[in-house]
Chain A
Amino acid sequence: NAGVTQTPKFQVLKTGQSMTLQCAQDMNHEYMSWYRQDPGMGLRLIHYSVGAGITDQGEVPNGYNVSRSTTEDFPLRLLSAAPSQTSVYFCASSYSFRLNTEAFFGQGTRLTVV
């Protein structure tokens, strides 16, 4: 079972460049989310989606866009990369948004902005 798949695993960007981090899940999960992981700060929620066509902001949304055109895919776009966006990014999915169900995580994308 593939679960949650993120691509790429590593990426280096120059300041001002844009890129899209891909996330796909094959579990027909309703809820998908993006987190960034920074030392000493844990995981912070960037954006989330409760279903196809529905997205909302999390704790740290500035500089990021998302869309959810299908149940399976939830890409994260960096519009104009900044060094402050250097981080490890995790995509996660859960069966339901309302219920406390287990979150399944991707393997992460390590992004460096120079």
Chain B
Amino acid sequence: AQRVTQPEKLLSVFKGAPVELKCNYSYSGSPELFWYVQYSRQRLQLLLRHISRESIKGFTADLNKGETSFHLKKPFAQEEDSAMYYCALGGGETSGSRLTFGEGTQLTVNP
């Protein structure tokens, strides 16, 4: 069975500090991983996916198959990054869009 774990429910940093949101997964096949973000009073939206290998809003995430991790990083946090972040795992070759979500990490960036 596939599983996603986000060990930190709450994460608080100061503006300008580096931030790392941890995500670990369990999956027997070739994983497809995503980060979704929910800003206050907004709907959940895609932040980035590992296959794109892109940086969005200064965030990057690298898939580490050896450690089964997909941590989200940003070198200099901004107050507008405060949000709930969810790591998600796709369902594989036959059910790619069936997502399994982690528990979520509430990030607060303090001024």
CB pair B98 A42 closer than 8 Å: no
Interface contact tally, CB-CB below 8 A: 65
- B86 CB-CB contact with A under 8 Å: yes
Contact across chains for B101 and A103 when beta carbons are under 8 A apart: no
A7-B27 Cα distance, complex, nearest whole Å: 35
Surface stretch bound by A, among B41-49, B54-62, B65-73, B74-82:
B41-49
The B59-111 residues at the A interface (CB cut-off 8 A) are 86, 90, 93-104
List the A residue with the shortest CB-CB distance to B95: A97
Task: Give the residues in chain B near A90, CB-CB below 8 Å.
Answer: 43-44
Query: Which bracket fits the contact residues of A?
Result: 20 to 34
Q: Is the CB of A33 within 8 A of B98?
A: yes
Taking a contact as CB atoms under 8 Å apart, the answer to whether A108 and B90 are in contact is no
> Quick check: A100 and B103 within 8 Å, CB to CB?
no
A45 touches B103 (CB 8 A): no
Interface contact A42-B94, CB-CB below 8 Å? no
Residues of A within 8 A of B20 (CB): none
Which residue of chain B is the closest to A29 with respect to CB atoms? B97
Interface residue ranges, B against A (CB under 8 Å) = 4, 6, 9, 32, 34, 36, 43-46, 49, 51, 86, 90, 93-104
